[in-house]
Structure 1
C-alpha cells in the first residue's frame, strides 16, 4: 500500500508552535509539564504500542514535557472517551483512538456518554490502517478458503474473536457468515490483547483485528492472516489477498488513527501539538517503526482529521443501517 501524502503545514514554525503548546496548552507541575494520552484498550495491543512509540518521541518535541500513556480499557474505548469528555480543556489530555471509538460507537450504542461532534475536537491524525482476518496456529487453514472449508467440515459453526462488540470487525463477521452460509458468532473481547492471547493459546480459531495487532505473530508463524480489508494488498504482507479479491466488496474505505482533545481546548494548543506530531512523524526511526506495524503513516492537520472522521462515519452509517443493526 502506498504511503499517505497529505498537504502539510510548513514545519519551519513547528518549534515555535511546540513552545506555544508548552505555555498555553500544558499545565505546570512540580516535575514539569505533563501530557496524558488516553488509550481505550489494555496494554499489549496494537493501539497501546502505537501510543507508546509516539509518547516517547513527543517528549523532546514538547520541550521535555512528561508524556504519559494512560490505559482506560473497556467497552471498546468508551471509558476512555468518557474520560476525555470529563477532562479539563487545557491541552493536558488527549485521546489516541482509531475509528471505532469515534466513528462507530456513537452509532451502535444508545447512550455512549459522549458525542464526538460536540464533546471533542480533532488534534491531529497520523495514519490509516486496514483490518484483517486471521486464523490461529491450531487450525490447518493456510488461506481464507481453507478456513471456510475447514469450518464446513466442523458443521459450519464457529466463533471469531473481535476486539470490541458492535465494531467493524463484528460487522465483517456477520457479512462473512451471510455470504458463505456459515453459522459464525462474533466473540467480543476487551481489546485485541486478550483476543490475541486466546488465539495464540488456540482457545479460538479465528479473529478479526487491525494489522498492527496481528503482524508480529503473523511473521513469527504463530497465526496466519488470510484476508485484509482495504482497496489493495498490504506491503507488509503482499501474499494476503483483499476481501474484494475473495468476493466480499464494500470494505475499501480504510480506518484512521488520530488524537482528539476535549471541546474548548484552545486552538493555539491544538495547532502546537499538531505541528509537534508532524515533526515526530517525519523522523525516520518513528516512521519506520509505525510503517513496520502495518500503518500507512501521514500527518493530518486538525481540519484534515475532522474531514476524514466525518467521511468515515458517513460510510459506516450506511453499512450499519443496511445490516439492520439496532443500537444496544
Structure 2
C-alpha cells in the first residue's frame, strides 16, 4: 500500500511538472484575438484600423478580429475594453477623444484611462485642418482673425458636437488668437462640411483625411493645419504655428490599449506586433491613401503622451465652459 501510494504521488508530481513545463513553453497568443474599435464599421477610424489589425494578425499568427462597439463618443467600446479579461486576447483602439477629452468633458465617465487601461503603443497621427467656405474672403489664419474682428458675432464655426475634438481645438485656437466664432454643433463632421460646401457655414476644424477630397476639388478652402509641421498632402497650407501662434499643435493620435492588469510580457509582445504591422506594405499604402502618419512607440511613450494631453484638454473644456453629463 505505501509503495502504491508513493507510485501514485510520483506520477502526479511528474505530470504536474510536465504541465508546468508545457505552460512555460506555450507562446502567446494561442488563439484568435479581439480588437475593440469604439466607432462604427465603415467610419474613418474603422477603415484606418482594419489594415493594422490584419497585419498584426499575420505577425502574431492568429486572427485579430475587429469588434465595432460604437456609441456615446467612444465610451461604450472603451468601457467594454476596460472590463475585459486582462489576458492579452482583447485589445482596443483608444485616441485623443476616448483617452484625453472624454475624461475632461464627462463628469461621470464609466472608465478611467490611467486606472482601467494599460498603454500598448501608438498607432497613428493625423493633423486637423482649419477650413472655410470657398467664398469667404480670407486666405490664411491671420486674415480669418481680422475678418472675425471686423464682423463680430458673424463667423459661424461648425463641429461634430459640443466637447468634440474639433470643437475644443477651436476653443484652444480662440484662446490663443482672440478669434471670435459662434459655435454651431452638428451630429457629425460630415454634416458640418456639407453645410460649408452649400455656403451655410463659415468655418470648421476637421481631420485632414475626412475633408481632403473637398479641399482638392476646391469646394472648401484650407487655411491652416494644426500639426507641428506641414501635412505632406497639403504642402502649400501653413501650420497654425507658422501663422502667428508659436507652439500650437493638435493632432488626432490613435493608440492600441489593453485592459489594466495585462502582463507586461504580453504587452511587449503586442507592441512588437504593432510596430511590425505599421511597417507592413499594405498598412503603409492604406495610411498614404488616408493621409495618416504611422507613429510607432513604446508603451512608456504612449503613457507620457496621455499624461501631457490630460491637463491640456481639461483646460480647453474649462475655457469652453462646457461639461458632459
Q: TM-score range by the shorter chain?
A: 0.7 to 0.9
Cross-structure match for 1:261? 258
Counterparts of residues 215-254 of structure 1 (less than 5 Å): 215-252=212-249, 254=251
TM-score by length of 1: 0.76
Deviation string, structure 1 residues 138-185 (Cα, Å, up to 9, x no partner): 756554456567767876424322234323422332355564553421
Which portions of structure 1, spanning 4 or more consecutive aligned residues, are displaced by more than 6 angstroms?
149-155
CA deviation after TM superposition for structure 1 residue 279, in Å? 1.1
Give 2:84's match in structure 1, choosing from 65, 73, 87.
87
For residues 106 and 36 of structure 1, the distance between their equivalents in structure 2, rounded to whole angstroms, comes to 22
Q: 1:122 to 1:194 in 2, by over 3 A?
A: farther
Give 1:72's match in structure 2, choosing from 55, 70, 87.
70
**Cα contact 2:168–2:320 (8 A) shared by 1:** no
Deviation string, structure 1 residues 307-327 (Cα, Å, up to 9, x no partner): 221122244345555x27454
**Cα contact 2:148–2:179 (8 A) shared by 1:** no
For residues 101 and 201 of structure 2, the distance between their equivalents in structure 1, rounded to whole angstroms, comes to 25
Cross-structure match for 1:20? 27
**Which ranges in structure 1 are unaligned for 5 or more consecutive residues?**
1-18, 27-32
Question: Which segment is superposed worse, 169-178 or 143-152?
Answer: 143-152
Cross-structure match for 1:60? 58
For residues 251 and 302 of structure 1, the distance between their equivalents in structure 2, rounded to whole angstroms, comes to 25
CA deviation after TM superposition for structure 1 residue 71, in Å? 4.2
Counterparts of residues 160-309 of structure 1 (less than 5 Å): 160-177=157-174, 179-180=177-178, 182-190=180-188, 192-200=189-197, 204-252=201-249, 254-309=251-306
Give 2:112's match in structure 1, choosing from 105, 110, 115.
115
**Cα contact 1:121–1:261 (8 A) shared by 2:** yes
TM-score by length of 2: 0.77
Deviation string, structure 1 residues 187-239 (Cα, Å, up to 9, x no partner): 1435x445445545555443212222222332333433221113222222111
**Which ranges in structure 2 are unaligned for 5 or more consecutive residues?**
1-25
CA deviation after TM superposition for structure 1 residue 258, in Å? 0.4
For residues 210 and 98 of structure 1, the distance between their equivalents in structure 2, rounded to whole angstroms, comes to 13
For residues 315 and 177 of structure 1, the distance between their equivalents in structure 2, rounded to whole angstroms, comes to 14
Question: Which segment is superposed worse, 128-137 or 172-181?
Answer: 172-181
**Cα contact 1:138–1:205 (8 A) shared by 2:** no
Cross-structure match for 2:34? 35
For residues 199 and 55 of structure 1, the distance between their equivalents in structure 2, rounded to whole angstroms, comes to 34
Counterparts of residues 139-158 of structure 1 (less than 5 Å): 142-144=139-141, 156-158=153-155
For residues 145 and 74 of structure 2, the distance between their equivalents in structure 1, rounded to whole angstroms, comes to 31
Q: Does 1:100 align with 2:97?
A: yes
Larger-Rg structure:
2
- The count of residues paired between Structure 1 and Structure 2 equals 298
CA deviation after TM superposition for structure 1 residue 102, in Å? 0.1
CA deviation after TM superposition for structure 1 residue 248, in Å? 3.4
